[in-house]
Amino acid sequence: MPELSPNLIAKLETAAERYGQLIGQMNDPAVASDRNRIVTVSREHARLGRIVEPYRRYTTLTENIEQTKSLLDDPQSEADLKELAQAEIDELTARADNLLDEILQLLVMSDQTDVNSVLLEIRAGTGGDEAALFTADLLNMYTHYAERKRWKVEILSATATDLGGFREVIINVKGPDVWNRLCYEGGGHRVQRVPKTEAQGRIHTSAATVAVLPEPEDIDVEIDWEKDVLEHVSRAGGPGGQSVNKVASAIKLEHVPTGITVSMRDEKSQHKNRAKARRILASRVYEKFRSEQAAEQAAARKSMIGSGDRSQRIRTYNFPQNRCTDHRLKTGGGEEGNFNLQTIISGDLDALISALAAQEKAQRLAEL
């Protein structure tokens, strides 16, 4: 019989209660007529619904199982009826097991499901020309993986070397579940092999860094001009003639949440000055949000790629031994993190990524 822990049940019941509240808000004419508010409410409703609806189905199944079990416990029930009841219990339990897996997956991984576009940045680290060639190999690996998944790949920028490698390359990958799969690739990648430039046949160790960032959505600047912006009106000073100075046409706008201010006094018309000031204010607020978003991405990139040194790595590609080792999976000296190198480098990453996803799921569940 599948079960949820009391802690998880409490979390799901809270989500279900909030889900019901959101339905009430969506049916409220005051909310429905407010474009900004209805969009916010609808998004939260959709996000919670992905978890709450399966939970409700799971709850119904478990109730049906308990009701059917009462027939088995009833000494008055005939043998044929008990046999049918047991068959129904088996079928309901299997469905409940599947729903339980879905609920747990949604609980711990729901933050990844809506991201269908990522920026993948690969940069050569320690190793000179060989590191640049390895960067090209990683690019080919991810491109082939994207082809297997039927994702769209666009090269945004690339700095090539004379030997066919890349100092750096940035690609955009779009498609269903793309972040959910590629988010594990960020970090240091190390290669051990005999470089094409090595005349003595010696094995060299080189490195490259990979950063995987969700592609930022267009920042939609929503300014409540009545609540968020203070407007000061005054007479325009300076040159311009009497017609300019007689009328209170100068406009100063202050965006309270950010503290950004704009003054406009160029036009004789207060209306025209206000329109220009709003355009400039909206642009400056947008730029502030964009800069903050870029700063967050830069911090995420820095924590993800480290220094590019050979010692900072998540994965090693050992060509002489035809072995790819993901060090996040290797525990206790075991061999859990080893995969066939040719399989991985050709772009068949599903087994490796699935192992990482399963490990992360287990870790997140343990933290709930």
| The pair of three-digit structure tokens given for residue 247, joined into one six-digit string | 């009328």
Q: How far apart are CA 65 and CA 10, in angstroms?
A: 21
**CATH number 3.40.50.1970 is the correct assignment for the domain at 229-297:** no
Q: Could you please report the per-residue DSSP string of 310-340?
A: TTS-SEEEETTTTEEEETTT--TT-STTEEE
Residue 196 pLDDT: 75
**Along the chain (368 residues), what's the average pLDDT of each consecutive run of 10 residues?**
73 90 91 85 86 92 89 80 88 91 76 73 92 96 97 90 92 89 92 81 90 68 84 67 59 90 77 83 78 68 55 85 90 67 96 90 74
φ/ψ of residue 296, rounded to 5: -65, -40
* pLDDT given at position 332: 47
pLDDT at 149: 96
* Tokens matching residue 46: 């959709």
Domain residue spans in the chain? Answer: 6-112, 117-218+306-367, 229-297
Q: Does domain 6-112 have CATH number 3.40.50?
A: no
19 Cβ contact partners less than 8 Å away, ≥ 6 residues apart: 45, 48, 49, 52
> What pTM value is reported for the model?
0.64
Identify residue 367 by its one-letter amino acid code. Answer: E
Does the domain formed by 117-218+306-367 have CATH 3.30.70.1660? yes
pLDDT of residue 48: 87
Give the residues across from 11 on adjacent strands: none
